[in-house]
Structure 1
Amino acid sequence: MRVNMVRASHFSKVLVLFGLGALLALQPQGATWAADGYIQTAKYIFFFIGDGMGIPQRAAASAYTGKPLTVDTFPAQGVTTTAAFDRFITGSAAAATAMASGIKTKIGYVGLDPQLRPVKTVAEMAKGQGKKVGVISSVSIDHATPAAFYAHVPSRSMYHEIGMALVKSGFDFFGGGGFKDPEGKKSKAPQGNVLKAARAAGYTLVNNKQDFMALKRSPGLKVIAVNPWLQDSAALPYHIDRRPQDISLSEFTEKAVELLDNPQGFFLMVEGGKIDWACHANDAVSAIQDTLAFDEAVQVALRFYEKHPRETLIVVTGDHECGGLTLGFAGTKYETEFNMLKHQDTSFKKFSAEVLKKFRQKCGADCSFEKIKPVITAHFGLKFTGDPQSDPLVVKPYQEALLRQAFERSMAGERIHSDDPGTYLLYGSYDPLTVTITHVLNNNAGLAWTSFKHTGVPVTTSAIGVGAELFNGYFDNTDLAKKVMSVMGLSPQVVYMADAA
């Protein structure tokens, strides 16, 4: 809203307008949108969500490569607040529900308002307009963020019910990770097998790269495509661990565009979910690599936009920051050495689950810290001889002491619990040695962490295409859904399922 103070002819009118302007200035907002939709509608809408991708994650990835990310070059750049209805530091379910429907909700709720009333999502609205709809995630496809675009349940942990909601959605393309509870083993009211239900509903199921790449657009085709290797919790492997036979996030995106393109247009949500998981574990390199993989998926959308610039909108945002990543560390003062991060060749997950497991099996009863040193050097580049002053890869005496202590805990199979404050602050709930290694490497490079959980700092939203200017400025995550609705030619408001029926 813009107020032209010059035209105010009366002092009282000036005061009223000034008061309104001051009130609006206190509210998060970007460009305004029309009550009944934006002046122009987008035929194709890409909605990218980097889970856990705050401002520092984007900045770290850019510093790592030495060049801006694709999203950094978009003409519209905004700052987005993320608080949930009942907690300042949000969770993925509440955040995704806000971004998908425009409603603040409670932690853990998916597609429901705080009173448990189902709210319609922008993906469901797009389907109602006759568009084809796709949902992609690098974590399980029934996880909180993707679920918020098609499911309506009171708990994000209701994976079986979410999987069944996926089938019932009728959306045209699902890709990425698998299902966490397809048979309903953890459900109080199992509804059968999700995969069997999907086949019965006409979905084509694919779980290898060869068949996936061979998919061709055809009338009525509906696809659920799952990567052949699900590394942890039915999710894709971290990008740093990806094999040639794995399907990357950008390949999922490219195939989705190919299959969804049609005269009525499409809506495609793509989540980079493992950015968040890497940040929970304080593994900067894995988070950076997954941020870059996410940015490559954005590049696919940008290439499509360049062919359809007057019909396409691309929005890229994060649901929250994770880990409290900082670009700067007290131990290095003003110095940074991000190139040393490139010595890491494996994620924290693969190192703890595979490398350490093999190490224990090989060394048996004689697992000494001296024997693990070359293993650490091989996978992370850290050195144990030399001058720390001239070579930042050389661990300092106090860091070696921390690594020795963590090694003893790991070899003893010690589990760290959050009710033990002293050890939790050091290791979170992760393998002590692995998280200490990433801390030392990150710190020596000039990065640090404040948490093993989410934080409440705002995130960056970037946009290009039809209505992109709406995403400039400072606004709440609920406004993301309303701005997208506006560009879809819809009234930017929360729609309840009962009202829409």
Structure 2
Amino acid sequence: MSSQHLLNARSEDGDEEDTIGELNSDRSRRNNAGFKTWLRSLPTWLMALPISIMFVGVYLASTHQPNRTNFILMISDGFGPASETFAREFYKHTHGLDWKDDFKFPLDEILVGSSRTRSSNSFVTDSAAGATAFSCAMKSYNGAISVEPEGRHKPCGTVLEAAKQRGYKTGLVVTSRLTHATPACFYAHVVDRDMESEIAEFLVGDGPLGHVVDLALGGGLCFFQPNETSSSCRTDNMDMLESARKKGINVILSEKELLDSSRRNAKALPLPVLGLFNRDHLNYNLDRVHLPPASSEPSLMNMTEIALRTLDEAAKNSQPSIWSRLKFWNRPDGWGLGFFLMVEGSRIDMAGHSNDPGAHAEEIFEYQRTVAVVRKWIKDHPSCNTQLISVSDHETGGLSLARQLSPYHYPVYNWYPQALKNVTHSTAALGQLILAHSKLHQGEIQEDWLKEEIFKQGLGIMDATHDEVTGLGESMGIVGGEWWVDVFLANMSSYRAQLGWATHGHSGVDVNLYMEPFSTDFHGSKENYEIGARIASHLGLSLDPITVQLNEHVDDWFFWNTTSKIPKGGQQRRQLVGHESCGGHN
């Protein structure tokens, strides 16, 4: 390239540099102007930012419910491992399923271990000590209603009381009297389970902690009526229903009232609520379905469905306000709190005491249906942190699925569920019919009536013998004849099915433990009090402060001496197993 060409090239390059410089200068002026404009608008942005954040927070707080924590404890009173097998095989037989069908009950799918049942003073527990282990997370003596096992038997704080004080909604659903041992252990404190008049006072809020049970559904009306009432079981003239109503508790006394109230409130009940659907225990499910409409009772499954809807809705509506939720650095009280619900299949146990296989099976079926409802509810509410544990307090009856009919012949390796297929009533209900018939006929029992109405129509027994008719009549002459008629009829069914029973009381075997969802840190063989500890842990509760509160002025309300407080024959009543009328099984 020549020198001139080089000079010309440099000149052209110089012009290009001048043009670029002008462009850069113009861009810089525009940038400076944009920065000044942004700077002038900065205060406006700074003022708008917190308002924008607040609106976003309000939207999120109003649309996002916290993951509420719930615990559902289901207690299958008196339900041992043999009872599970018995009910499953009986169900399969009556529904045309053979040995090749891998049928499972809802509980079979969530089996995780076993629970050890002994009490502090016996290898064989009663329901009071068993439930105290669940409620207070400690073992106590037979007959104890949430009191400590040693010394003066001071009250111990329960998981339900702690849950209520923490802000959870609380509920109890049972088919026994609500003052019976198992439910009582969650809200009352007395040294003997037969103090049911005093237990009723706790349920309506007359205890030292006030009203702690938001929802209570079951039986036991007689302990809430003054003793001047003919149907009362109380030892005094106090009217617990009036006391409940004065405290604003909604009292429901029939299935119709229960259903009407739930319909009026979008299938939930107004809290607090106390539902009492029988003066004593609710009827066995076998008998309940035959009740006339005027005296109909809700099933365990129906009561549980209503309880779940009611407690969940109440917990949802009691969540903190939107403004409280914006304080994300300090979670407000009530944040994420759901409910604690205890559901008891109470009469599984009572059928076991009578050794009544038909009623025992149907009570287990109803409990399994209720478990299915609870499991479905948990599945349908995945945003809730809900834990389900199902467990028994003890086994009742010492049931065996085989029976040696004669000591002189080797036993048959079999039992026969078909012998129970046509049972339509509990032996307790049939016993009442027999006694009424006998009274109507001046103490006589007509054999033809007995064979047709009781044996054939009630138990499905077509081959009753004359000796059995005679034996039934003799059993009526024994002290406590009502009970022995019940037992005699039950044995007729069990003998034909070749089912064995070791006792009319409880046994000391371990019972099955069921849980959903499964947890790797809670399975295998557990002491019963560990279940109480698990409830407290899941709900974030401490029981010690409740125990301290209960004992601060304990002498002002606690009955140390039970002599005048237990109904006549109360402590001895448990020696006559089967006496149910305002007494009941253990």
Q: Does 1:222 align with 2:295?
A: no
> In the alignment, what sits opposite 2:477?
414
- The aligned runs of 1:94-243 (5 Å cut-off) are 94-114=129-149, 115=151, 116-168=153-205, 169-183=211-225, 185=227, 190=236, 192-214=238-260, 215=262, 216=265, 221-227=271-277, 230=278, 234-243=280-289
Distance 1:432 1:209, change over 3 A: closer
What is the TM-score of this pair, normalised by structure 2? 0.68
Q: Which runs of 5+ in 2 are unaligned?
A: 1-66, 93-102, 206-210, 228-232, 317-336, 406-410, 553-586
- Give the alignment partner of residue 259 of structure 1, picking from 310, 324, 328: 310
> In the alignment, what sits opposite 1:83?
118
| Amino acid of the structure 1 residue aligned with 2:422 | H
Q: Could you tell me how far 1:374 is from its partner in structure 2?
A: 2.4
Whose helix fraction is larger, Structure 1's or Structure 2's? 2
Kindly indicate whether the alpha-carbon contact (under 8 Å) linking 1:281 and 1:435 is maintained by their aligned counterparts in 2.
Answer: yes
What is the TM-score of this pair, normalised by structure 1? 0.79
| Amino acid of the structure 2 residue aligned with 1:81 | R
Q: Could you tell me how far 1:276 is from its partner in structure 2?
A: 1.0
> In the alignment, what sits opposite 2:558?
none
Query: How many Å separate the matches in 2 of 1:183 and 1:258?
Result: 29
> In the alignment, what sits opposite 2:30?
none
| Amino acid of the structure 1 residue aligned with 2:168 | K
Query: How many Å separate the matches in 2 of 1:108 and 1:211?
Result: 34
Query: How many Å separate the matches in 2 of 1:78 and 1:184?
Result: 45
Once superposed, what is the RMSD of the aligned Cα atoms?
2.5
**Range 216-225 or range 151-160, more displaced:** 216-225
Distance 1:366 1:91, change over 3 A: closer
Kindly indicate whether the alpha-carbon contact (under 8 Å) linking 1:369 and 1:407 is maintained by their aligned counterparts in 2.
Answer: no
Q: Could you tell me how far 1:142 is from its partner in structure 2?
A: 0.8
- The aligned runs of 1:264-343 (5 Å cut-off) are 264-309=337-382, 311-331=385-405, 333-343=412-422
Kindly indicate whether the alpha-carbon contact (under 8 Å) linking 1:314 and 1:463 is maintained by their aligned counterparts in 2.
Answer: yes
Kindly indicate whether the alpha-carbon contact (under 8 Å) linking 2:72 and 2:387 is maintained by their aligned counterparts in 1.
Answer: yes
Query: How many Å separate the matches in 1 of 2:446 and 2:187?
Result: 51
Q: SS where residue 275 of structure 2 aligns?
A: strand
Q: Could you tell me how far 1:266 is from its partner in structure 2?
A: 0.7
Kindly indicate whether the alpha-carbon contact (under 8 Å) linking 2:117 and 2:394 is maintained by their aligned counterparts in 1.
Answer: yes
Query: How many Å separate the matches in 1 of 2:105 and 2:467?
Result: 35
- Give the alignment partner of residue 509 of structure 2, picking from 457, 478, 501: 457
Q: Does 1:49 align with 2:75?
A: yes
| Amino acid of the structure 1 residue aligned with 2:387 | L
> In the alignment, what sits opposite 2:327?
none
> In the alignment, what sits opposite 1:481?
532
> In the alignment, what sits opposite 2:432?
353
| Amino acid of the structure 1 residue aligned with 2:114 | V
Larger Rg: 2
Query: How many Å separate the matches in 1 of 2:361 and 2:286?
Result: 9
Kindly indicate whether the alpha-carbon contact (under 8 Å) linking 1:160 and 1:184 is maintained by their aligned counterparts in 2.
Answer: no
Distance 1:141 1:330, change over 3 A: same
Q: Could you tell me how far 1:496 is from its partner in structure 2?
A: 5.6
Q: Could you tell me how far 1:61 is from its partner in structure 2?
A: 1.2
1:238-291 alpha-carbon deviations (Å, 9 max, x no partner): 000113632100110011111111233111001111111111111011011111
Kindly indicate whether the alpha-carbon contact (under 8 Å) linking 2:172 and 2:342 is maintained by their aligned counterparts in 1.
Answer: yes
**Range 245-254 or range 213-222, more displaced:** 213-222
Kindly indicate whether the alpha-carbon contact (under 8 Å) linking 2:161 and 2:546 is maintained by their aligned counterparts in 1.
Answer: no
Q: SS where residue 121 of structure 2 aligns?
A: coil
Q: SS where residue 188 of structure 2 aligns?
A: coil
Kindly indicate whether the alpha-carbon contact (under 8 Å) linking 1:158 and 1:187 is maintained by their aligned counterparts in 2.
Answer: no
Q: SS where residue 175 of structure 1 aligns?
A: strand
Q: Could you tell me how far 1:401 is from its partner in structure 2?
A: 6.5
Q: Could you tell me how far 1:362 is from its partner in structure 2?
A: 6.0
1:393-424 alpha-carbon deviations (Å, 9 max, x no partner): xx6xxxx47524422314xx41346xxxxxxx
**Range 252-261 or range 374-383, more displaced:** 374-383
Kindly indicate whether the alpha-carbon contact (under 8 Å) linking 2:81 and 2:512 is maintained by their aligned counterparts in 1.
Answer: yes
> In the alignment, what sits opposite 2:31?
none
Query: How many Å separate the matches in 2 of 1:470 and 1:127?
Result: 26
**Range 345-354 or range 42-51, more displaced:** 42-51
Kindly indicate whether the alpha-carbon contact (under 8 Å) linking 2:160 and 2:212 is maintained by their aligned counterparts in 1.
Answer: no
Q: Could you tell me how far 1:42 is from its partner in structure 2?
A: 7.1
Kindly indicate whether the alpha-carbon contact (under 8 Å) linking 1:283 and 1:347 is maintained by their aligned counterparts in 2.
Answer: yes
Q: SS where residue 316 of structure 1 aligns?
A: strand
Across the two proteins, how many residue pairs are aligned to each other?
425
**Range 195-204 or range 371-380, more displaced:** 371-380
> In the alignment, what sits opposite 1:59?
85
> In the alignment, what sits opposite 2:50?
none
- The aligned runs of 1:370-389 (5 Å cut-off) are 371-375=449-453, 376-384=455-463
> In the alignment, what sits opposite 1:421?
none
Q: Could you tell me how far 1:350 is from its partner in structure 2?
A: 0.9
Query: How many Å separate the matches in 1 of 2:467 and 2:123?
Result: 33
Query: How many Å separate the matches in 2 of 1:90 and 1:347?
Result: 26
Query: How many Å separate the matches in 2 of 1:248 and 1:145?
Result: 18
